[in-house]
Amino acid sequence: MTRRVTRAAVGQILLVAALCLAAAEIALRLQQAIGPLYDLEAATVDLDWYSETLNHKPKPKESFRFVGREMYRELDGLAFTVTYDDLGIRQPVTHAKAEHCGRQATLLFLGDSFIMGYDDEHTVPNLVARRLLRRHDVCTTVYNAGYTSYAPAIFVPQARKLMPILRPDYVVVDIDETDLVDDVYRYDSLIDRNGRGENIGVRPSPPLLAFSAGLIAMRGHWLYLHRLVDKLWLTMVTVPRLLRERPVPDLFMVARDRDPTPEKRYAGEFAIFERNIAELIGVLKQTVPGDRIVFISHPHFQHLLPPGNAERWNDATRSAVRKVATAHGALFFDSTPDLSRRFAGHPQDYYLHGDMHFNFAGMDGYADSVADFLATTLR
């Protein structure tokens, strides 16, 4: 009698457990269909970004949508698709032409998300080309090779690849505050160097690779419960462990430092950063002379706050770029004084709220400033 009751109890427990698991499986599939509230399909995840040379590369086509009135203000709801070719050049290439041109030039822009831009119309390279034509009678073909989180360490192998193929007349390189920390803490340990010590590639970041590969592996499980366990382990154990092994500090830790000589306090970081810029200039000079290499710099709105404001950022990173560029015969343009005038004491109105990037008005101002400078150098 006892044995039969025990078996019955076990059977009931197993039945309840099976029903609970089945209910959980159904619930996970339903939330995936109507939401998802917690994505267990990762349908858009792939390894198209994977690159042993550039750490990460643009996907051939990627769609974006700005969501959030507080951050994006009048740009809330903007949807656009970004397309790149096999070389990592944003498409379409800008051809700003007229029947009669006072001057003509081909420009290659290197940079991060500030150069990558938003929709096809609102990118700094495209806007610069339009203004050069309209205001300075300069016809251009402009290649936009900017992509999110690129920095001088990545520009070096990128330039090795692009320069012999595109052979531009001028190269315009946008470097900002985020690039110093990216170069030192994100990319330096991933650089592959040849026997001469030259940077020939920047391997993928382990946390990013593990995350993408883990989500792709997760899709191979038929049971959504299995997928749930895999994703929780990936996001709560695997990736955090890798991030702890490769911590990336505040991107603006140098810019907001109140030390009167941050370049001394962060001497090791600046040495790595400046080495990468110098190496980039050396690679570019194999195709164009130094006076056709133009480094441009844009401020963040904290750089434009009044002197004495406790939130005002220093110009240590910008000064380092200027020093290396001029020492190696390249040109340097700092748009900060011009944008301070253009933004008329209200710099926060020209940036996304709570985000480092320009809004459309800020991008227009920066493009105007860069175009006016380039017009004095293009031959």
String of DSSP letters for 145-205: ---TT--HHHHHHHHHHHHHHH--SEEEEE--THHHHIIIIIIGGGEEE-TT--EEEEPPP
Average pLDDT over residues 8-17: 85
Q: Is the pLDDT score of 366 beyond 80? A: yes
For residues 15 and 10, give the distance between their C-alpha atoms in angstroms, rounded to a whole number. 8
The predicted pLDDT at position 1 comes to 46
CA distances from 317 to 41, 47, 179, 354 (A): 42, 33, 9, 22
Total length of the chain = 379
The two three-digit tokens of residue 328, written as one number: 């190696």
Q: How many CB atoms lie within 10 A of CB 56?
A: 20
- SS3 category, 379: coil
Lowest mean pLDDT among 7-21, 54-68, 165-179: 7-21
The predicted pLDDT at position 5 comes to 61
Average pLDDT over residues 91-110: 94
Asked if 336 contacts 299 with a C-beta cutoff of 8 angstroms, the reply is: yes
Considering the entire predicted model, what is its pTM? 0.91
- SS3 category, 221: coil
Asked if 141 contacts 128 with a C-beta cutoff of 8 angstroms, the reply is: no
Q: How many CB atoms lie within 10 A of CB 269?
A: 22
Average pLDDT over residues 238-263: 92
266 φ, ψ to 5°? -110, 40
Lowest mean pLDDT among 8-12, 55-59, 94-98, 225-229: 8-12
